[in-house]
Amino acid sequence: MPVESATRAVRTGLVAFAFLAYLIFIGVPGKIGGSALPVLALISALFIWLALRRESAALSGTAVDPGPGAYQKKPGWEIGPRDTSDASPFVDHLPFSVVTGFVLKGVLAGCTTGLLIAVLSGVSATAMGNGVSIQPVFDKIVPVNVAALIGVSPGQIAQAEVPLLRFVLQVLFFAGAGLLAALVAAAARSSQSQAEQLARLTTRLSGPTTVNVARYAGVALPFLLLAYIAWLGLPGVSVFGSNEGTIRLLITLIATGSGLFALRLSLPGRERTVVGVLLGLGVLAMPFILDQFQNSVMGLVFIFVMMGLGLNIVVGYAGLLDLGYVAFFAIGAYTYAFLSAPFSSPYVSSLLLLLGVAPESPLLGYWMALPVAMLTAAAGGILLGIPVLRMRGDYLAIVTLGFGEIIRLFMLNLGELTNGPRGILEISQPALFGLSPSSVTFGLLSSQGWIFLLALVSSALVAFVAIRLNDSRLGRAWFAMQEDEDVAEATGVHLVRTKLLAFAIGATFAGMAGQLYAARQINIFPENFSLFVSIDALALIIVGGIGSPAGIVLGALALKGLPEVLRGVDEYRIVTFAALLVIMMIVRPAGILPSARRRIQINDPNEMGPDSKIVSDGEAEVVQTAGVAKNAANGQEEAM
Amino acid sequence: MSKKLTIFSLFLVAALMMAACAAPQPAAQAPAEEAPMEETAADMSGKVVIASGSMIRIGGSFALTGPIPDPGLNIRHGAELAIDDLNAMGGLEGFMFELVAEDGACDGTQGTNVGNKFAADETIVAVTGGTCSGETFGLVPILLEARIPFVSPSATNPDITSADCDVCNRVALSDALQGATDADFVVNDLGLTKVAVVHDNSDYGKGLAEIFQSGVMELGAKVSSFEGVQVGDTDFRAMLARVGADGPQAVFFGGYSTEAGLIAQQMTETPGLEDTAFMSVDGAYTQQYLEAAGDASEGTYISFVSGADSEEMNEEFDAKYMEKYGVSPDDLGPFHSQSYDSVKLIAAAIAAVASVDDNGNLVIDREELISAIRSVDAFEGLTGTIKCDSIGECGAGGVQIFQVSEGDFNQVSGFGME
Amino acid sequence: MTSSPATVQAAGTEGRTSLRQFTRVLGAVILLFVIWRVTTVGLSEGYPASFWISQALNGLVLGGVYALVALGYTLVYGILFMINFAHGEVMMIGGITGYFALQFAQARGWMEGPWAVVVVALLLIMFIGMAASVLIGVTLERLAYRPLRQAPRLVPLISAIGASLFLQYSVLLIFGVSPHSYRKPALISGGLRLGDVFIPYTGAIIFVTSILLMLALYFIIQRTKLGRAMRAVAEDRSTASLMGVDVNAVIVVTFMLGSALAGAAGVMLGFHNTVVKFNSGFLPGLKAFTAAVLGGIGNIPGAMFGALLLGLIEAIGPSALGIPTEYKDVIAFSLLVLILIFRPTGLFGEVLSEKKA
């Protein structure tokens, strides 16, 4: 059915064009510069290759092993046609023409994309050359952008001096990309069966050894990276030019994340203990070797780890969806700010005078303020908890969201109490036995490094408490309540107390995090505590794997650390982040490192509806990717 | 599962104990290895050493996102042109200048982040910015600690410069002047006795509104209401209905373009405010304001803090701007000349204190640079002859008041008219 | 929230009764406070009656917009039990598209033509805005939500948050960060003056159109075959599919209906408030969601009523309580918290959430 294949190829080309057009409209070619055209062509080749690979898989009758993170059988994710069961039977009869068929399809798809791109860039270029300004509408369609797309200088666009040849070249480029994709897909197909056998043989022969090597490599990786970071920090080492700070930050993030995987890869028992202790030492040394900027990012990451662990108690353990978690973070931060910043509101000072205390600043140091901030936040948690005791699910979500907004708006508008939008400035720094940390450590520990160290230690403490709580009677009560409130109550769980404890403990942790955040920021403003902080905290526990502390650390590294690495491509940062969030949810709904309990839940047949195979599919992947670890740990379940 | 958790918690306990006892250990070990670094750091502390062939890096905090992105971009362009001009004139002792632009987003949070980033970068000599007052408040304590002087082209809140902050400077004029001038104009020139004051709950807008309010009251007029809105709101009818119920003769708004334009427009739909005068401040002196207000902008008053323009320098600047960015600077907003001057001022101060050492490196002493900026006297900039005083006020020029007629700003009072 | 009474243990019952008493006392205290505040402060300011009428009208207009958006939340929630967090952005897309359609119409001088031409052009603009919103809504469903239909409830929520950010910042990157200003045609600028009360034409149009659209929606859901299928899917998805209802198609249609209403709201809000930009859907979206919950999420009359109530309270509340207008959002959210304390499933309640929540 050549017509059908052609339609399919054109459709693939259209999808590729739609995506490329998006990139063009947000101004990516202008950002890339001279090599924009080849880059875009390569992207379209990737699209076409994906589509052809799917077809080839359907043709050969057996699915190509998609590997982890594949889009197979995921409705809505595949590119190109969904139902390929009746794909081109004529190809089956003429196996030798497969390659030709692929090439034709690839080139057709590439030509479609190329023609459309040429039309798009041609129209923009002509309009600009004739003085029609598209830019006020499409912000990023500027001469630089279009010029990069066509491969000429911006001046030529403005003078309308683009030779027709350029557009032909564009079409050719994309046709070439399609050809490339087709060849790659065809090559993969023809070698597929042989490669499969070969691979099976290799695995059988060298199975245990390879696995062991991989395991040791995995365990060793964080240590290597840590050593590398330390080396990069030595004086006189300059490797990546002006990007060095960013690269080092990226490696730091990877090292911390891979440390968690290394811990899982190591065999339980002595090996894990040793690896754990060594890693702990390595991570604790980081505040001393990183520079101010890297420390400040890592500090933020671990502050959010604390937030995530606290929110995890409320959402992950107790099953209460809280979208206003930022409120407690804000309460902690503002409590510390009141106690330690020069700004003093008339209310607070008169209250102090009433109590017979002289209102001088700072009232309390960091350590003295810590219990106060925690208690205030816990009180806030109970205060929120009482009215929402009877609510469930999404009602709870929106009420907590409203509560968070109310707190923020009060901070913004109660100028006399909180200094309003002007924020509270010059919050004092935590001291170490009354001394500044840098003087104690002979200048090794910068102020941000000290914050990072504090965040590390506090989050370890919080994680410890959280894990112990989860294993306690209270933890089981939470779990029961999450499963079914009525049944839990019937079996003797005191709902009021259990819920309030969840809110209060979660809030306490957020208060701690908030206090440290205030110390890190030095200045705090009401905008620091917008809804997006709650969303960030929620997203990081879900991306990391709800209910699993290790997952939360990973989530925080990915969601709070990576955006700072991407700061160079600032405008595209949030778009990329948002798209990744959606893709992440589709590809791995259980998170990067799901907790065992969570995985059982996702796999729970009772919670499935009519098209339940999607879930089992996702589940299969989760298990599959954990495969290496599983082999190593003799099939034991990971429980972190 | 619980066994695993126990192991994990054991690890955490171990980590905690390490935290308790291991802290001195790295400290004791490290000096041996890192002593040389310590030494260079000591050598460099207080001085920026720029190796030959490197650039003199000047940080810039601009409000590229947030409520006033266009003026933010405009200010960035101004700074870039100044850098271009400096480099075109051969830089300083063969060292070229580089602008490290960051997005301060017009708010304190982002300002704090940008400040931290600059403070972490030892090669940053000085900073131009931030654009908004809130953003600058975020920068102040961090740059003060890092001993990096900054010159803001557009942060106008009176509290930004003070005797306590020796790194804080600006070439913009303080809001104290603008608020007082506006109050004087409304009460004495327009002869109004009952005004309503609205602000947008930003650092800048609220500060200005408060100054205006006290100015008006000092002059004997009455403030009928003092209301706040949020940046980003679009429906002000409920607030205006309430303001209108008190029957003010004028509404003063402290804030940015879009909100100002919408308030001016929605006033025409509010009983009691149809013919009331509207006045806003330099944050609304933009094309965006005219667009958002539409026909309602006719007859409204906008005050602006202007420099004493020298015609030819400005023409040259405008031409360069047009050539590089394809738009006229005034289309994007005010403060581009201040931004240009801010960078030039920093460069002049750097030139006064920088010296080339034996290795061909450029050495700039931070403390000397901080005092050099304060001692700038009679620097010829786009905004006039700039002279910095002891608290860092380097602004030149004065407050102008414009009235909108036929979709354009026409000056009716203030600086340059007398 | 019923529990099996026979097996409930003493502790639970005790806790629950004391809780109920607590909420009663709390409710009485708050009610008394509000009455005191309104009588002593709000009314003592001596605003004329026309003031209250104008504020109420402002509130109704605001409520009409919230209602259109809230219906989208409620429809989707009723069928999929998911919060479509990106719904506010769907509305914003409608507004942005409407802006460009208006630019196009103005460039051709249609807006200065005879009134019939202007009306047709305006309807066309609204239709284009709605179409864009529908397109985005359906694409969202297909790409971001459908693959997650069986995932735990939080997963689609996060996906929706991601989609919301993606749409906002895509619009920022494509159309720029500065606001786009609608220029009202002469036909609908200005308004009706009744004594001291002024009704802007756009406000009146919003209110009337939103009521009409809501009635149309109600008709579709209650009287048509499609509506019956929707209700069936909302009731029980698997049974509905066994009965021959194409569940996927119904869900797509649900998204289309909700998005079309949001698109209409976006365009009308654009004409009313004259400014759209990348994040102008966020706050109205949040408020509309609040309104949907207020009325009982999944409940269509509830969403309409909740939205109108929220709009009214937001407009009248600050003046009646005698507090600054910047607290209007605080009042809106406090109202939500209060109502949910006393009626945990919203004003009109709903049966659907019970089984999933």
| Structural domain spans, chain A | 2-193, 218-290, 291-632
**pLDDT category of residue B24 using cuts at 50, 70 and 90:** very low
What integer is the mean pLDDT of A292-317? 89
Structure tokens at A378: 């816990």
Per DSSP, B172 falls in state S
Beta bridge partners of C192: C199
pLDDT surpassing 70 at residue A324: yes
Mean pLDDT of A195-201: 64
Q: What per-residue confidence (pLDDT) applies to C4?
A: 42
Q: Which residues of C touch B234 (CB under 8 A)?
A: 269, 273-275, 280
* Interstrand relation of B362-365 and B355-356 (parallel, antiparallel or unpaired): antiparallel
Residues near A509 by beta carbon (within 8 Å), at least 6 away in sequence = A306, A307, A309, A310, A313, A462, A466
Q: Which residues between 198 and 217 in chain B have a beta carbon less than 8 angstroms from any beta carbon of chain C?
A: 201
Residue range A136-174, pLDDT digits in tens: 777 777 777 888 888 777 777 777 777 888 888 888 888
CB contact under 8 A, A268 and B12: no
Contacts of residue A426 in chain B, CB cutoff 8 Å?
Answer: 141
Q: What is residue A140's three-state secondary structure? A: coil
pLDDT level of residue A612 (50, 70, 90 thresholds): very low
DSSP assignment letter at B252: E
Q: B125 by DSSP, 3-state: which?
A: strand
Please give the residue that has the higher pLDDT: either A86 or B229: B229
Q: Is the dihedral of CA C227, C230, C234, C236 positive or negative?
A: positive
Answer whether residue B12 is part of any domain. no
> The CATH number of A291-632 is which of 2.30.30, 1.10.3470, 2.40.160, 2.40.440?
1.10.3470
**For a pLDDT cut of 70, what percent of chain C falls above it?**
92
Token readout for A534 is 């709650």
Looking at per-residue pLDDT, the higher value among B231 and A309 belongs to A309
Peptide bond connecting A362 to the previous residue in cis, omega within 30 degrees of 0: yes
Q: Is residue B346 assigned to a domain? A: yes
Residue C11 CB-density burial (10 A; 0-12 exposed, 13-18 middle, 19+ buried): middle
Q: Are A362 and A455 in contact (CB under 8 A)?
A: no
Q: Please name the member of A139, A489, A586 whose beta carbon is closest to the beta carbon of C12.
A: A489
Of A239 and C219, more confident: C219
Neighbours of A393 (CB within 10 A): 19
Reported as a pLDDT band with limits 50, 70 and 90, residue C136 is very high
What is the rounded CA–CA span in Å between residue B263 and residue B296? 9
Supply angle C-alpha C187, C193, C195, rounded to 5. 175
User: A619-633, B34-48, B210-224, B235-249: which has the minimum mean pLDDT?
Assistant: A619-633
pLDDT band for position A199 (cuts 50, 70, 90) = low
* B407 has a chain C CB within 8 A of its CB: no
The CA distance from A456 to B19, in Å, is: 9
Q: How far apart are CA C242 and CA A500, in angstroms?
A: 43
For chain B, give the mean pLDDT. Answer: 81
User: Which pTM was predicted?
Assistant: 0.80
Question: Do B357 and B295 belong together in one domain?
Answer: no
For helices A495-521 and A292-311, the axis angle rounded to 10 degrees is 170
One domain for residues B122 and B235: no
pLDDT (tens digit per residue) in B286-297: 888 888 888 888
Rg of chain A on CA atoms, in Å: 29
CB–CB contact A389 C158 (8 Å):
no
CA distances from C131 to A274, A387, B7, C90, C97 (A): 61, 42, 57, 11, 9
More confident residue, C39 or A405: A405
Task: For tokens 């009359």, name the residue.
Answer: C301
Q: Does A22 touch chain C (CB under 8 A)?
A: yes
**DSSP assignment of B53-79:** TSEEEEEEEE--SSS-HHHHHHHHHHH
Predicted confidence band of residue A191 (pLDDT cuts 50, 70, 90) = low
**Is the CB of residue A30 less than 8 Å from the CB of residue A148?**
yes
Closest in A272, A444, A461 to B30, CB measured: A444
- Contact residues for B268 (Cβ-Cβ < 8 A; gap 6+): B274, B296
A273·B7 Cβ contact <8 A: yes
Coil/strand/helix, residue B95: strand
Q: What local confidence, expressed as pLDDT, does residue A89 receive?
A: 45
Which residues, other chains included, contact C86 with Cβ-Cβ below 8 Å and sequence gap of 6+?
A: C140, C144, C160, C161, C163, C164, C167
Residue among B282, B73, B295, B259 nearest B175 (CA) = B282
- Judging contacts by C-beta atoms under 8 Å, the chain C residues touching residue A401 are 286
Q: In 3D, which of C92, C70, C65 has the Cα closest to residue C163?
A: C92
Q: Across the strands, what pairs with B362? A: B50, B356
Asked whether residue B164 falls in the same domain as residue B312, the answer is yes
Residue B20 lies in a domain: no
Instruction: For residues B236 and B256, state if they share a domain.
Output: yes
The β-bridge partners of B95 are: B92
Q: How confident is the model at residue C93 (pLDDT cuts 50, 70, 90)?
A: very high
Rounded Cα distance between C105 and C127, Å, is 13
Question: What confidence score (pLDDT) does residue A392 get?
Answer: 73
For residue range B113-148, list pLDDT tens digits in order: 788 888 877 788 999 988 888 889 888 888 888 889
**Residue C263 confidence class, pLDDT cut points 50, 70, 90:** very high
Lowest mean pLDDT among B193-202, B394-403, C223-232: B394-403
CA distance A322 to chain C (A): 11
pLDDT band at A200 (very low <50, low <70, confident <90, very high): low
Contact check, Cβ <8 Å, B232/C279 = yes
Nearest-CA neighbor of C325 among C314, C336, C309, C310? C314
Answer yes or no: do B108 and A457 touch at CB < 8 A: no
B124 with B209, same domain: the answer is: no
CB A486 within 8 A of CB A474: no
Give the pLDDT confidence score for residue A441 in this predicted structure: 67
pLDDT at A193: 57
Farthest-apart Cα atoms in chain B, separation:
84
pLDDT at residue B418 greater than cutoff 70: no
Average pLDDT for residues C83-99, to the nearest whole number?
A: 92
Mention every residue, 6+ apart, whose C-beta is less than 8 A from residue C339: C294, C346, C347
**pLDDT surpasses 80 at A231:** no
CB contact under 8 A, C181 and B228: no
Interatomic CA distance for residues B153 and B340, integer angstroms:
8
Domain boundary pick from B281, B299, B317: B299
Query: Residues of B numbered 223-252 whose beta carbons fall under 8 angstroms of chain C's beta carbons: which are they?
Result: 227-230, 232, 234-235, 237-239, 241-242, 245
Q: Do B288 and C178 touch (CB under 8 A)?
A: yes
Give the CA distances from residue A99 to residues A67, A175, A180, A183, C87, in Å, rounded to whole numbers and listed in that order: 24, 16, 12, 7, 46
Q: What gap in Å lies between CA B207 and CA B29, rounded to an integer?
A: 52
Query: Are A470 and B5 an interchain contact pair (Cβ–Cβ within 8 Å)?
Result: yes
Write down the residue that tokens 């740059």 correspond to. B143
- Residue C282 pLDDT grade (very low, low, confident, very high; cuts 50, 70, 90): confident
Q: Which residue has the tokens 């209650």?
A: C222
Q: What are the residues whose beta carbons fall under 8 Å from the beta carbon of A230, sequence distance 6 or more? A: A285, A289
**Per the CB < 8 Å rule, is B241 touching C58?**
yes
Query: CA of B68: which chain C residue's CA is closest?
Result: C178
Number of folded domains that form chain B: 2
Kindly state whether A621 is in contact with chain C, defined as any CB-CB distance less than 8 angstroms: no
Element (H, E) at B227: strand B222-228
3-state secondary structure of A6: helix
Find the domain containing B59 and state its range: 49-172+308-397
C-facing residues of A in 142-181 (CB < 8 A) are none
User: Cβ–Cβ contacts within 10 Å for residue B130, how many?
Assistant: 35
Phi-psi label, residue B414: left if phi above 0, alpha if psi -120 to 50, beta otherwise? left
Cβ contact, residue pair C144, A494, below 8 Å:
no
A499 to A310, B201, C16: CA distances (angstroms): 14, 37, 13
Higher pLDDT, A452 or B70: A452
- Domain's final residue, options B248, B278, B299: B299
Please report residues of B whose CB lies closer than 8 A to that of A283: 15
Determine whether the interchain pair A608/C150 forms a contact, defined as Cβ–Cβ distance below 8 Å.
Answer: yes
What is the rounded distance in angstroms from the CA atom of residue A524 to the CA atom of residue A517?
9
Angle in degrees, 0-180, between the axes of helices C201-223 and C225-235, rounded to the nearest 10: 80
Residues B306-349 have pLDDT tens digits of 776 667 778 888 888 877 776 777 777 778 888 999 999 999 99
At residue C27, the pLDDT reads 79
Confidence of residue B7 (pLDDT cuts 50, 70, 90): low
Taking the CA of residue C90 and the nearest CA in chain B, the distance in Å comes to 18
Secondary structure string (H, E, C) spanning A411-426 = HHHCHHHHCHHHCECC
Which residues lie across from B411 on neighbouring strands? B402
Residues B257-262: what's their mean pLDDT?
90
Flag if C3 and A486 touch (Cβ within 8 Å): yes
Identify all chain B residues contacting C51, using CB atoms and an 8 Å cutoff.
241-242, 245
Asked whether residue A577 carries a pLDDT value surpassing 80, the answer given is no
Contacts from B148-152 at CB under 8 Å and sequence distance 24+?
B148/B59, B148/B118, B148/B119, B148/B124, B148/B366, B149/B346, B149/B349, B149/B366, B149/B369, B149/B370, B149/B373, B150/B59, B150/B126, B151/B126, B151/B127, B151/B342, B151/B345, B151/B346, B151/B373, B151/B394, B152/B128, B152/B342
User: What's the whole-number mean pLDDT along residues B27-37?
Assistant: 36
Residue A609: what pLDDT?
38
Per-residue pLDDT tens over the stretch A260-301: 888 877 777 888 888 888 888 888 888 888 877 788 889 999
A138 and C174 in contact by Cβ < 8 A? yes
- Whole-number pLDDT of residue A84: 44
Claim to verify: residue B138 and residue B199 sit in the same structural domain: no
- The C-alpha atoms of residue C50 and residue A50 are separated, in whole angstroms, by 66
Instruction: Find all residues with CB under 8 Å of B2, minimum gap 6, and list them.
Output: A471, A639
Q: Where are the domains of chain C?
A: 63-280
Predicted local confidence at residue C338, as pLDDT: 82
Structure tokens at A128: 């600009």
What residues contact residue B370 under an 8 Å CB cut-off, 6+ apart? Answer: B147, B149, B166, B167
| Residue C48 and residue C196 in contact, taking contact as beta carbons nearer than 8 Å | yes
Chain B residue closest to A472 (CA)? B2
Residue A80 has pLDDT above 80, yes or no: no
User: What pLDDT, on the 0 to 100 scale, is given for residue A325?
Assistant: 92
Q: CB A286: neighbour CB atoms within 10 A?
A: 22
Would you say C142 and A76 are in contact if contact means Cβ atoms under 8 Å apart? yes
> pLDDT tens digits for B170-226?
888 888 888 888 999 999 888 888 999 999 888 788 889 999 999 999 998 889 889
According to DSSP, the β-strands at B379-381 and B384-386 are antiparallel
Helix (H, G, I), strand (E, B) or coil at A361: coil
- Say whether both B112 and B124 belong to one domain: yes
State residue C312's pLDDT score.
92
Window 359-398 of A: residues touching C by CB (8 A cutoff) are 386-395, 397-398
Spatial separation of the C-alpha atoms in residues A603 and A623, rounded to whole Å: 11
Q: Is residue B385 part of a domain?
A: yes
pLDDT greater than 70 at residue B239: yes
Q: How close, in Å, is residue A191 to chain B by CA atoms? A: 43
Average pLDDT, chain A: 77
Compute the distance between CA of residue A414 and CA of residue A404 in angstroms, rounded to an integer.
15
Query: What is the tens place of the pLDDT at every residue in A496-555?
Result: 889 899 999 999 999 999 999 998 888 888 888 888 888 888 888 888 887 788 889 998
Q: Which of A156-165, B275-284, C300-309, C346-355 has the lowest mean pLDDT?
A: C346-355
> Quick check: A293 and B116 CB within 8 A?
yes
Mutate to test the interface with C, among B242, B265, B273 (most CBs of C within 10 A): B242
